[in-house]
């Protein structure tokens, strides 16, 4: 029993060390660093404002990406409401380049936009590369982690 616990503990330490060595996800942002999200407290989603249009970003993938963003924003003190009651609207989109061949798996770009709910003006944009499992299927776990990484870059929240 003691040996099994030691092996399990060693495996856990190894997993943590490997995670520390993994390269950090690259996130690009556009918009003022002093955007002052503090004046916005209630957010919602507006898919029609999203950039992209990749057909692989199906309703299930969108829902999982929105859930990841929602969890991150709620943990930072924001409140969620439907789009009619929100003062800040988020749109998540995925764009991908043309598939160069029948078996090629292109890289895609995940984009998160923060928009003023009243004016619909885009206030901020964060983006990151995302992975695909197949030419027409997104890696949803990677998509969710990308959304979380982008959300951590939101200024002034």
pLDDT at 10: 47
Angle made by CA atoms 99, 54, 110, in degrees to the nearest 5: 100
Range of the domain at 96: 26-151
Give the chain's length: 157
- Would you write out the chain's pLDDT as a tens digit for each of its 157 residues? 555 545 544 444 444 443 444 457 889 888 876 666 778 999 999 988 887 777 778 889 899 999 999 999 999 999 999 999 999 999 999 987 666 666 666 678 899 999 999 999 999 999 998 887 776 778 899 999 999 999 999 886 5
Any domain includes 8 = no
The alpha carbon torsion through 33, 35, 41, 45 (nearest 10 deg) reads -80
Any domain includes 156 = no
Any domain includes 11 = no
Report how far residue 129's alpha carbon sits from residue 60's, in angstroms, rounded to the nearest whole number: 19
Any domain includes 19 = no
Query: In this structure, what token pair is assigned to residue 30?
Result: 């556009």
Q: The domain that contains 124 carries what CATH number?
A: 3.30.160.670
Any domain includes 91 = yes
Q: Provide the number of structural domains found in the chain.
A: 1
pTM for the predicted model, two decimal places: 0.78
In three-state secondary structure terms, 153 is: coil
């Amino acid at each position: 029993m003691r040996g099994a616990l030691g092996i399990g503990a060693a495996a856990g330490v190894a997993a943590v060390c490997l995670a520390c060595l993994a390269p950090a996800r690259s996130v690009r942002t556009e918009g003022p660093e002093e955007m002052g999200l503090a004046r916005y407290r209630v957010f919602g989603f507006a898919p029609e404002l999203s950039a992209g249009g990749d057909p692989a970003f199906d309703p299930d993938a969108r829902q999982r990406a929105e859930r990841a963003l929602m969890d991150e924003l709620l943990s930072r003190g924001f409140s969620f409401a439907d789009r009619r009651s929100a003062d800040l609207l988020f749109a998540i989109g995925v764009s991908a380049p043309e598939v160069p061949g029948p078996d090629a798996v292109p890289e895609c770009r995940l984009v998160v936009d923060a928009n003023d709910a009243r004016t619909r003006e885009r206030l901020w944009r964060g983006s990151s590369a995302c992975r695909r499992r197949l030419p027409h299927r997104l890696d949803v776990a990677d998509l969710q982690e990308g959304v979380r990484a982008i959300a951590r870059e939101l200024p002034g929240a």
